[in-house]
Every structure is written in structure tokens, then in C-alpha cells.
């Protein structure tokens, strides 16, 4: 697996990381523990060194799973986790008060079975707490050796600048993919200017870009895609053309839709590191192998031309979640 630097931070990770959320949370029943540990360790054996979790995934159980899985190889991997919700529950209000950040750091260290958090993200910008206070608290944790690098998630260019002025931001994590390109407008130019890495989550459009989801697909009752407007039956039908175009491009190169989607992200900037998630070993291998897919300038131009002819429909979040996205 190739390695990449997240901006100017000096933080080196595998070109493709593993988003661990879905093993415990968000997409239906949690994966059985031993299977989850096996998948995480298989990812490492295949070259992945960057693992993403959060206290609210579960809550808490995903950090415990990741901690147990990576304990034997702790010094060979980079672990990212997050703070930002009251009581560690994403259904609760935002909470990035300094005392809460400190409490989360201590609890996450225990659950992850480690003495430092490599990358500590603010999960969502909290409008009730000045960004300078958030960045200052993480700066103190870095000085104490409990945290190595500071990150933000779903933050606007304005918030990124405010945070970076207090404590250099190593990475921003936000949604970015062939069907959600908003970060290109103001966020990506800001990251490039400031030397900050970018970690796209949902790089496969929450599974849609793989071609495995159609208008007739039914989701588990606990799958959050049930409430995502973009995943309504009508919108899945309307967005199917994007998957068809991806399939044509993938077939032409002898790879899968998922691999084209990930290779496209890798081709955008050398400091972009997507973190696709999966519960299946076959999909893990497919995602990892996307790092070997080379898209030429001609390929990228063809993809761009095709995308300009497609209008993706449906909001990416329901209204109550969309309100938490920093603007």
C-alpha cells in the first residue's frame, strides 16, 4: 500500500484507510465482535495503517472494538477518534466544552487501550463554544502527550482558519465523493493553502456508488439510510444513471465502480486519504486494490464530462442533521 502525508502535519498514513463505524453502528446490526476484529486485522495485513472511529459509534463499542483489534500492532498504526456530542451520543446536542473534550480524551484512551490518540477530531463544530477554545484545549492535550494531531469534521473554511490559527489542523474529515462535491467550492482550496490533509468519509456514497444498491433495495430497520433523503426510492431511481456511467468507465478499465470512485478521489490531490468502510473481507480487498488503479488525465476528463451531464438528486442528510453542518 502506498503511503500519503496528511498535509504538512508529518502524519503519514496508508493511501486508503478504514472507516470502522459500520462494524458497530449506522448500517444495521453490529458485526459480531470476533469478525470485526478479524476484518480490522486483515486490513492491517493488507497494508492499511489508518483506522477511524469515534466515541459516538455505538456509542463507545466501536472504540473498544478498534482498541482490542489494534492493541498487538498499536505502534504500527494511526488511530483517529472524535469528540463533540453530549454523553457521546450523536442523537444528543453538540458539546465541545473544554471539560467535555478532556473527559472524552481520557475515556477514549482507555477504550482504545492506548496512551495517545494519533488524530483527535471535533466531530461537528459546536456554535456554542468558540473554536479558539476547542483548538486551545486540544493544543493542551497535545502538549501533555495524550493527543498527537488535531482534526476537524464537516467544518467550514472559516472555522478551519480559526482553529488553525490556534493549533495547526492536521486533517479535515468531511463527506466527499463523485456524488457529493461541495468541498471543492471553498474547503479544498483552504486546505491546500494551509497545508491541511483531507479525509473523505462516505467516499462510496454510503454504498450507492458501488452499484450494489437499487431502487428496490430494502435496508435494515436500524440502517440510517432509511432517513436519508438521497436514499428514498424515487431518488435512488433518479440517481441510477450515475452508477451506470461509473460502470461504463469501470468496465473499460477492467475494475469495479467502487475502485473508480476511490481512484478518482486519490487523483484529486496527493493529500487526500479516503476511508471507505465495510464489513466484508471481499469488499475490503476491493477497496484496498483501488490504490493501484491509475486514472490518466484522459480518464479524469471523461469522468468530469460525464458528471456534468448528471444531476444528483436528494439531500445528503435529513433536516435535523443538516442543521449541524458548519457553514
Phi-psi region of 142 (alpha: psi -120 to 50; beta: other; left: phi over 0): alpha
**Is residue 222 one of the residues assigned to a domain?**
no
Task: Encode pLDDT of 273-322 as tens digits.
Answer: 999 999 999 999 999 999 999 999 999 998 999 888 999 999 999 998 99
- Cα 17 to Cα 5, 116, 157, 259, distances in angstroms: 12, 19, 24, 14
**Is residue 184 one of the residues assigned to a domain?**
yes
Q: Give 223's DSSP letter.
A: B
**Is residue 161 one of the residues assigned to a domain?**
yes
Task: Encode pLDDT of 212-236 as tens digits.
Answer: 999 999 999 999 999 999 999 999 9
Strand pairing category for 117-122 and 147-153: parallel
Cell numbers that stand for 301 in this block = 476528463
- Cα 169 to Cα 10, 145, 310, distances in angstroms: 11, 16, 34
**Is residue 40 one of the residues assigned to a domain?**
yes
Q: What is the mean pLDDT of residues 17-37?
A: 96
pLDDT for the residue numbered 209 = 96
Task: Encode pLDDT of 49-78 as tens digits.
Answer: 999 999 999 999 999 999 999 999 999 999
Task: Encode pLDDT of 79-125 as tens digits.
Answer: 999 999 999 999 999 999 999 999 999 999 999 999 999 999 999 99
**Is residue 147 one of the residues assigned to a domain?**
yes
Distance of CA 129 to the CA centre of its chain: 24
Please calculate the CA angle 216-219-225 and round it to the nearest 5 degrees: 105
Task: Encode pLDDT of 130-148 as tens digits.
Answer: 999 999 999 999 999 999 9
323 three-state secondary structure: coil
Position of cell 476528463? 301
Q: How many CA atoms lie within 13 A of 183 on its CB side?
A: 28
Q: How many domains in the chain? A: 1
Burial class (CB in 10 A: 0-12, 13-18, 19+), 327: exposed
Structural domain span for residue 289: 3-208+268-293
Burial class (CB in 10 A: 0-12, 13-18, 19+), 106: exposed
Within 10 A of 299 (CB to CB), how many other CB atoms are there? 18
Is a pLDDT exceeding 90 seen at residue 327?
Answer: no
Mean pLDDT estimate for the chain: 97
Q: Give the residue numbers annotated as catalytic, written as ranges.
A: 57
In which band, very low, low, confident or very high, does the pLDDT at 32 lie, cut at 50, 70 and 90?
A: very high
**Is residue 171 one of the residues assigned to a domain?**
yes
172 three-state secondary structure: strand
Q: Is the pTM of this model over 0.85?
A: yes
In which band, very low, low, confident or very high, does the pLDDT at 237 lie, cut at 50, 70 and 90?
A: very high
Q: Are 287 and 266 in contact (CB under 8 A)?
A: no
pLDDT for the residue numbered 323 = 87
* Residue of higher predicted confidence among 177 and 323: 177
287 three-state secondary structure: helix
CATH number, domain with residue 120:
3.20.20.100
**Is residue 54 one of the residues assigned to a domain?**
yes
Please enumerate in sequence order all residues whose Cβ is within 8 A of that of 54, keeping only pairs 6 or more positions apart, or say none. 21, 62, 63, 81, 82, 121, 123
Q: Are 45 and 17 in contact (CB under 8 A)?
A: no
Amino acid at each position: 500500500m502506498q503511503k500519503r502525508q496528511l498535509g504538512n502535519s508529518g502524519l503519514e498514513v496508508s493511501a486508503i484507510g478504514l472507516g470502522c463505524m459500520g462494524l458497530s453502528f449506522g448500517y444495521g446490526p453490529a458485526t459480531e465482535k470476533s469478525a470485526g476484529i478479524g476484518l480490522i486485522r486483515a486490513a492491517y495485513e493488507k497494508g492499511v495503517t489508518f483506522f477511524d472511529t469515534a466515541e459516538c459509534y455505538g456509542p463507545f463499542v466501536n472504540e473498544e472494538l478498534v482498541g482490542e483489534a489494534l492493541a498487538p500492532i498499536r505502534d504500527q498504526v494511526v488511530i483517529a477518534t472524535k469528540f463533540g456530542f453530549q454523553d457521546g451520543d450523536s442523537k444528543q446536542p453538540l458539546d465541545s466544552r473544554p471539560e467535555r473534550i478532556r473527559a472524552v480524551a481520557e475515556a477514549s484512551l482507555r477504550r482504545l487501550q492506548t496512551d495517545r490518540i494519533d488524530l483527535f477530531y471535533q466531530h461537528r463544530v459546536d456554535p456554542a463554544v468558540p473554536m479558539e477554545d476547542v483548538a486551545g484545549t486540544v493544543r493542551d492535550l497535545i502538549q501533555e502527550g495524550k493527543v498527537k494531531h488535531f482534526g476537524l469534521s464537516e467544518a467550514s473554511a472559516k472555522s478551519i482558519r480559526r482553529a488553525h490559527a490556534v493549533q495547526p489542523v492536521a486533517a479535515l474529515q468531511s463527506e466527499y465523493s463523485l456524488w457529493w462535491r461541495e468541498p471543492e467550492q471553498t474547503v479544498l482550496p483552504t486546505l491546500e493553502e494551509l497545508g491541511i490533509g483531507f479525509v473523505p468519509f462516505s467516499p462510496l456514497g454510503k454504498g450507492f456508488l458501488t452499484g450494489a444498491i437499487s431502487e428496490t433495495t430494502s435496508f435494515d430497520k436500524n440502517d440510517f439510510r432509511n432517513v436519508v433523503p438521497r436514499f428514498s426510492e424515487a431518488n435512488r431511481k433518479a440517481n441510477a444513471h450515475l452508477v451506470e456511467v461509473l460502470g461504463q468507465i469501470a468496465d473499460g478499465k477492467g475494475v469495479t465502480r467502487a475502485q473508480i470512485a476511490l481512484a478518482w478521489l486519490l487523483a484529486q490531490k496527493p493529500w487526500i486519504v479516503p476511508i471507505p468502510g465495510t464489513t466484508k473481507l471481499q469488499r475490503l480487498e476491493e477497496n484496498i486494490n483501488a490504490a493501484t488503479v491509475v486514472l490518466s488525465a484522459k480518464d479524469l476528463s471523461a469522468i468530469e464530462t460525464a458528471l456534468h451531464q448528471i444531476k444528483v438528486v436528494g439531500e445528503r442528510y435529513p433536516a435535523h442533521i443538516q442543521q449541524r453542518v458548519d457553514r
